Structure 1
């Protein structure tokens, strides 16, 4: 089965309803039997209702079972029952939205020093105590934690298990191949206090196990965990989980926004589907939460210089450092079997990926006397991997193109390569998901933090992992330190302090990353704590402009607060001139200590003079001696975002049925799932086809007799809107015994900005 991330969690995908029961009963593509299948759904109410009113609403004329009433995270509840009864419920007065519960995916030792985590130990709070996160409660919604770990047991403050419904949120250990470690790793980055130290080593960790064996859970459990965290009045909440659906209005994102309304600073990972744009996933799309992308800590990167050309190598996770600067002979040694490695003593062994594990290749090369191993990819592009046991020589990776080039060069005669080390830091990780957010056109992620080769606690020890799951807890820990230093600051001020003082990053060529790739930049904790000005919100979106809107004007509003002990002068720098744009920014002004002022920032646009679909940049405010950059974004007409995403196919809830799920962020004029022969690409037929489909999630049951004969099929899932078609390809293997297996055939077609 396909795997999107290392850790699998649950996501709630929005289901789009229209004209209710009549639509269901008369829709030609919905099997009538599917209306009798029992499902679980989340019901969001327009207005607050009492428990008795909710019970009357559920039991009135239906056979629905009331499961959960959410008191804090959502104004609503969950029910179980037949689809047709759930659909009837969606038509009741006072119901805002009904959304099914589906299955969704979770998404270096210099890291804490780099973001200023060590420097703040020299700062003190109002009680004259060092900034360590002491007295701050950080909730971690994840796979639970190993609270017996020596680096975590001191700061463990209890929690809840929403999977087994008890108060023991221990990581899954017993089930074969289903044990977890993700939550323990995340908790260690935030508040480990032992052999290693987290960002806020004296913060109190409250664990919420919403993801069980194998990292799997349900939307109900995740929202219930948010609900419980609100009830427990945690100060900070970390969700290192997510999916590949770029939608701002999924219930789990709404629940996070609600947590912020209750005074909790919510932090979520942006996702691991980069480096393409429009890949940020929920709940990293939640407007009020802090969405976090991944950057690199300080890393020593090995390079080869061959015939005057420099080649970058990627150390495999668990490899020893490449710490020598010499010239070595290189030799090609096949796949790295013992038979292939007869002439590698004292040389660098170039190996082709495949057949043997990375660890086996490394051990074989070590025993044959090689000084280092380079494994080149057997498919296009670069790759990363892990060693399963210690190998005392460096094991690295390179792309297929580079490897094949070196192999051909060696065939002509001896090849010598000079080796050296270069230090890199503050680059965006390729896997880090980028924005913007569909439909709201918001800038996400808001910030970035180290998320590559991050060493932290796991059950039984320590392990380096990477992902935006590792970046988010750096920010959660930073928020705990800021909360200790400024206990009266709420979520908006904490978020603004980090964004206003973030360090904008540049790529290897020295060019700034776009705002929808890095947000405001990489966090700097000490500067955030010491900031003398807050600008809220810390980023601006001016919405969508149409070609018919000649010189249309949009406004953005920010509140500027002087948090210093002295009066300060404020002014905006004039933005660079650009055809078709005209800014109207406030004149300079002064604020007394503690004083605040609301400002209007106007952007006039002549769309006929624009030649791109998406514009972004930074407005610069001069606040005394401080320079604050405010990321902004606006779009022209319908930008080139993916029209289809998040496809999966699996067993249905009833015998002899199957179900597919897919998300359409802007709806579609035409949607379909076409089947092809994978070898001849001959068109076989449609698994489903629809016109004028609304925005959101399609969740469709299919009877087994609707499927073709056993065999392997190529599925093309496509959606057309505004003259653009996007598609996702998957292989569907239908076995003779009726079992099916679906596996992604390619990355979804994510459009690039014009």
Structure 2
């Protein structure tokens, strides 16, 4: 099996940093059309010209998201940042669609086709629920103690398909909203199923009564609030920060933000403007935390050592992961779940013995690491040669969850699929926050984060890849009790 290392790849690309490469929001647009941030700690609100349109008033954090001629505002302003889900590393690193919600899995094992939940190695290794273990009924599971009831998690992403059978009772459709500037609602609008996948990892209920059942989230009794910041494939950072503050204002226990600034937008010595973006992120984060909301962020998929100094470009700053007040999550995953040299024909044995080439807590090939990582969690891994070569079962190493697709007639179809990325690791931690807050409703942000870190387990690669360690739900729930 071949493991691919993007760290070597990135050093060879020699990417030229310029306005077009940055993805900095509308930097090539006409001034009258541009979006930008205003930092009210350096700009007097009364001196903002009347013809500057305020898109999001985040003045509680001393920030405005505006449109107009940026040069007419005296003081600190920086362009809004555009993130494109079509770019490599900006969402899931690899994805594979699976069956529709009313379809059958393809039978390939002696004991019949796997049910949808049998693909959930990420939940099975955490002993989430006895229905997912190799020994049903063999002892207490996480869900015997808590399922996250009484909590609320915001998914700031590409939208959540609330009609999926495993999410239909989970998404609060009244509180959910579209924070982008298009006229549609909070559901996906052209950016794929990223947000739906994330929501399922957090809170899917396994309610599908189809032939192969559904999938189960970490906290199936939490409530999901969907904030869609992506319109088509593009999302604006300013819309994301607006959603952070909205989520905090309605009492969300955590915000899942599987979004980050893209490479090569990580070198402040070349781009001093990054320090201004850092200040804005930290101002918004401080407000959110003051309301009791944990900000869970994916660490990024560029294989970067975020604590390193590039000999040619200087120190690396990965945003918003490295911003003070943001809880960063790196990704781990197995190689060989039900395929390869140690393949088992019995799904109950996919994770037992020595059948895995790499364990489930080993660092994923794409994950950012180092400074800014608070813990690691299951995000999926991949043998790219096998996956792209069509080797049967190779997608099993990715994270399996709820998705939405579109049929030939343009109808939205609920289904299941595999994705890998730090985007898939962050919701594992967001679900864990729901479990903690269900047991300790009055726990502060600092107490929740400390519990997750103090109970995290040692994992291959140590602190460099895992921060305080690898998410351990059993130890976490025991400590939270």
Tell me if the contact between 1:160 and 1:168 (Cα under 8 Å) persists in the aligned partners.
yes
Counterparts in 2 of 1:181 and 1:231: CA distance versus 1, 3 Å: same
Of 263, 273, 284 in structure 1, the residue corresponding to residue 292 of structure 2 is: 263
Residue matched to 2:377: 449
State the distance in 1 between where 2:476 and 2:152 align.
20
Give a deviation string over 1:356-404, Cα, whole Å, max 9, x none: xxxxxxxxxxxxxxxxxxxxxxxxxxxxxxxxxxxxxxxxxxxxxxxxx
State the distance in 2 between where 1:12 and 1:256 align.
22
Unaligned runs of 5+ in 1: 5-9, 15-32, 91-96, 124-130, 173-177, 305-320, 325-419, 437-443, 507-511, 533-563, 565-754
Counterparts in 2 of 1:164 and 1:80: CA distance versus 1, 3 Å: closer
State the distance in 2 between where 1:34 and 1:157 align.
36
Unaligned runs of 5+ in 2: 1-12, 16-20, 85-89, 92-118, 130-140, 208-213, 267-273, 309-315, 346-354, 381-397, 405-413
Residue matched to 1:587: none
State the distance in 1 between where 2:456 and 2:59 align.
35
Let me know the Cα RMSD of the aligned residues.
Answer: 3.3
More helix by share: 2
Residue matched to 2:121: 110
1:435 is displaced (CA, Å) by: 2.6
Counterparts in 2 of 1:259 and 1:435: CA distance versus 1, 3 Å: same
Residue matched to 1:490: 444
Of 156, 180, 205 in structure 1, the residue corresponding to residue 171 of structure 2 is: 156
Counterparts in 2 of 1:322 and 1:293: CA distance versus 1, 3 Å: same
State the distance in 1 between where 2:64 and 2:422 align.
30
Of 329, 333, 345 in structure 2, the residue corresponding to residue 296 of structure 1 is: 333
Of 406, 423, 427 in structure 2, the residue corresponding to residue 469 of structure 1 is: 423
Give the secondary-structure state (helix, strand or coil) at the position aligned to 1:526: helix
State the distance in 2 between where 1:36 and 1:423 align.
51
1:283 is displaced (CA, Å) by: 1.6
Residue matched to 1:428: 363
Tell me if the contact between 1:254 and 1:286 (Cα under 8 Å) persists in the aligned partners.
no
Is 1:101 the counterpart of 2:74 in the alignment?
A: no
State the distance in 1 between where 2:204 and 2:29 align.
49
State the distance in 1 between where 2:180 and 2:194 align.
16
1:527 is displaced (CA, Å) by: 1.3
1:81 is displaced (CA, Å) by: 2.6
Residue matched to 1:78: 65
Residue matched to 2:56: 68
Give the secondary-structure state (helix, strand or coil) at the position aligned to 2:83: coil
Of 163, 182, 198 in structure 1, the residue corresponding to residue 217 of structure 2 is: 198
Greater CA radius of gyration, 1 or 2?
Answer: 1
More strand by share: 1
State the distance in 2 between where 1:234 and 1:11 align.
32
What's the TM-score, normalizing by structure 1?
0.44
State the distance in 2 between where 1:485 and 1:11 align.
43
Residue matched to 1:45: 40
Tell me if the contact between 2:194 and 2:403 (Cα under 8 Å) persists in the aligned partners.
yes
1:37 is displaced (CA, Å) by: 6.0
Tell me if the contact between 2:191 and 2:230 (Cα under 8 Å) persists in the aligned partners.
no
What does residue range 351-500 of structure 1 map to in structure 2 within 5 Å?
422=357, 424-436=359-371, 444-452=372-380, 453-459=398-404, 460-500=414-454
Q: Number of residues paired by the alignment?
A: 356
Tell me if the contact between 2:335 and 2:356 (Cα under 8 Å) persists in the aligned partners.
no
Tell me if the contact between 2:82 and 2:236 (Cα under 8 Å) persists in the aligned partners.
yes
1:11 is displaced (CA, Å) by: 9.1
Q: Which has the higher contact order (CA 8 A, sep 6+)?
A: 2
Residue matched to 1:521: 469
1:220 is displaced (CA, Å) by: 2.4
Counterparts in 2 of 1:132 and 1:35: CA distance versus 1, 3 Å: closer
State the distance in 1 between where 2:320 and 2:37 align.
16
State the distance in 2 between where 1:288 and 1:276 align.
20
Residue matched to 2:192: 180
1:233 is displaced (CA, Å) by: 1.8
State the distance in 1 between where 2:33 and 2:358 align.
56
Give the secondary-structure state (helix, strand or coil) at the position aligned to 2:425: helix
State the distance in 1 between where 2:473 and 2:421 align.
21
Counterparts in 2 of 1:431 and 1:35: CA distance versus 1, 3 Å: closer
1:296 is displaced (CA, Å) by: 1.3
Counterparts in 2 of 1:155 and 1:83: CA distance versus 1, 3 Å: closer
Tell me if the contact between 1:299 and 1:425 (Cα under 8 Å) persists in the aligned partners.
no
What does residue range 208-357 of structure 1 map to in structure 2 within 5 Å?
208-214=227-233, 216-243=234-261, 244=263, 245-246=265-266, 249=278, 251-274=280-303, 276=305, 278=308, 281-297=318-334, 299-300=336-337, 322-323=343-344
Tell me if the contact between 1:137 and 1:204 (Cα under 8 Å) persists in the aligned partners.
yes
Give the secondary-structure state (helix, strand or coil) at the position aligned to 1:527: helix
State the distance in 1 between where 2:148 and 2:183 align.
27
Give the secondary-structure state (helix, strand or coil) at the position aligned to 2:249: helix
1:58 is displaced (CA, Å) by: 1.2
Give the secondary-structure state (helix, strand or coil) at the position aligned to 1:79: strand
